[in-house]
Amino acid sequence: MNSKNRQKQIVEMFDNIAPTYDKTNRLLSMGIDISWRKSACDETYKRYKKDIDLIVDVACGTGDMMGYWKKQANKINRKIGKLVGVDPSCEMIKVAKKKFVQFEFIIGDAGTIPLKDKSADILSISYGIRNVIERKDAFKEFARVLKTGGYLVILEFTKDDKKGFFFKIKEFYINKLLPKIGGFISKNRDAYEYLPNSIDGFLTAKMIEKELDDTGFSTEFVKSFSMNISTLIIAKKR
User: Along the 238 residues of the chain, how does pLDDT read in single tens digits?
Assistant: 688 888 999 999 999 989 888 887 777 677 788 999 999 999 999 999 999 999 999 999 999 999 999 999 999 999 999 999 999 999 999 999 999 999 999 999 999 999 999 999 999 999 999 899 999 999 999 999 999 999 999 999 876 665 655 556 566 556 666 667 666 666 777 766 666 666 655 678 899 999 999 999 999 999 998 667 789 999 999 9
Instruction: Identify the DSSP state of 177.
Output: I
Give the Cα separation of 158 and 230 in Å (integer): 7
Output the CA–CA distances (angstroms, integers) from residue 15 to 9, 94, 114, 142, 154, in the order listed: 10, 10, 21, 24, 22
Give the Cα separation of 138 and 124 in Å (integer): 12
Instruction: Identify the DSSP state of 108.
Output: -
How many helices (H) does the chain have, and how many strands (E)? 10, 7
Q: Of 34, 17, 5, 67, which is closest to residue 195 (Cα–Cα)?
A: 17
For 167-206, the pLDDT digits (tens) are 565 665 566 666 676 666 667 777 666 666 666 556 788 9
Sign of CA dihedral 119, 52, 207, 232: negative
Please give the pLDDT value at position 25. 73
Find the length of the chain. 238
Please give the pLDDT value at position 228. 73
Residue 83 in contact with residue 42, Cβ under 8 Å? Answer: no
Strand ranges across the sheet with 146-156: 104-107, 80-87, 52-58, 120-126, 146-156, 230-237, 217-225
Give the Cα separation of 69 and 13 in Å (integer): 26
**Strand segments (E) across 59-142:** 80-87, 104-107, 120-126
Kindly list the structural domains of the chain, giving each domain's residue range(s) and its CATH number in brackets, ordered by start. Answer: 3-162+204-237 (3.40.50.150)
Output the CA–CA distances (angstroms, integers) from residue 139 to 31, 33, 143, in the order listed: 29, 24, 6
Partners of 180 in beta bridges = none
**Phi, psi at 104, each rounded to 5°:** -100, 135
Please give the pLDDT value at position 177. 61
Helix (H) or strand (E) holding 225: strand 217-225
Q: Of 133, 128, 177, which is closest to residue 155 (Cα–Cα)?
A: 128
**Phi, psi at 105, each rounded to 5°:** -125, 140
Angle between helices 178-186 and 21-29 (to 10 degrees): 150
Collapse the DSSP code of 88 into the 3-class scheme (helix H, G, I; strand E, B; otherwise coil) and give the result.
Answer: coil
pTM value is 0.88
Residue 44 in contact with residue 234, Cβ under 8 Å? Answer: yes
